[in-house]
C-alpha cells in the first residue's frame, strides 16, 4: 500500500474517531436540531483531528502527521 493511500485512510479514520462521538455529544448537550448537529460536529472534528500527509522526498515517500496541540510535524514510519 502506498504512503498516500495510508495517509488518506489515516485521515478518514482520525476524522471519524472525532466526528462520531462529537455528533452524540453535540446532540446531547445542545439544543441544536437537524443538520446543525452534523455541521457543528464536522467543523470541530476538522479542526481537532490529526492531519496526515504523504510527501515525496529525495529519500523516497514519507508520511507526516500534524496535530493542533503539538508543535511541529512528526514523521510516521
So what's the pLDDT on residue 77? 79
Q: pLDDT tens across 31-69, in order?
A: 999 999 999 999 999 999 999 999 999 999 999 999 999
Estimate to the nearest angstrom the gap between the alpha carbon of 71 and the chain centroid. 16
Q: How far apart are CA 27 and CA 55, in angstroms?
A: 38
So what's the pLDDT on residue 36? 97
Q: How far apart are CA 49 and CA 16, in angstroms?
A: 9
Helix axes 35-48, 3-29, angle to 10 degrees: 130
Q: How many domains does the chain have?
A: 1
Question: Any idea which residue has 500534524 for its cell?
Answer: 66
User: pTM for the full model?
Assistant: 0.87
So what's the pLDDT on residue 7? 96
Q: Where in the sequence is the domain holding 31, given as residue range(s)? A: 3-76
Q: Which three cell numbers stand for residue 49?
A: 483531528
Amino acid at each position: 500500500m502506498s504512503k498516500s493511500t495510508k495517509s488518506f485512510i489515516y485521515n478518514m479514520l482520525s476524522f471519524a474517531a472525532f466526528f462520531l462521538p462529537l455528533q452524540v455529544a453535540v446532540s446531547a448537550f445542545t439544543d441544536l436540531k437537524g443538520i446543525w448537529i452534523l455541521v457543528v460536529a464536522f467543523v470541530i472534528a476538522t479542526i481537532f483531528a490529526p492531519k496526515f500527509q504523504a510527501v515525496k522526498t529525495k529519500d523516497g515517500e514519507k508520511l507526516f502527521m500534524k496535530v493542533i496541540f503539538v508543535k511541529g510535524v512528526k514523521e510516521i514510519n
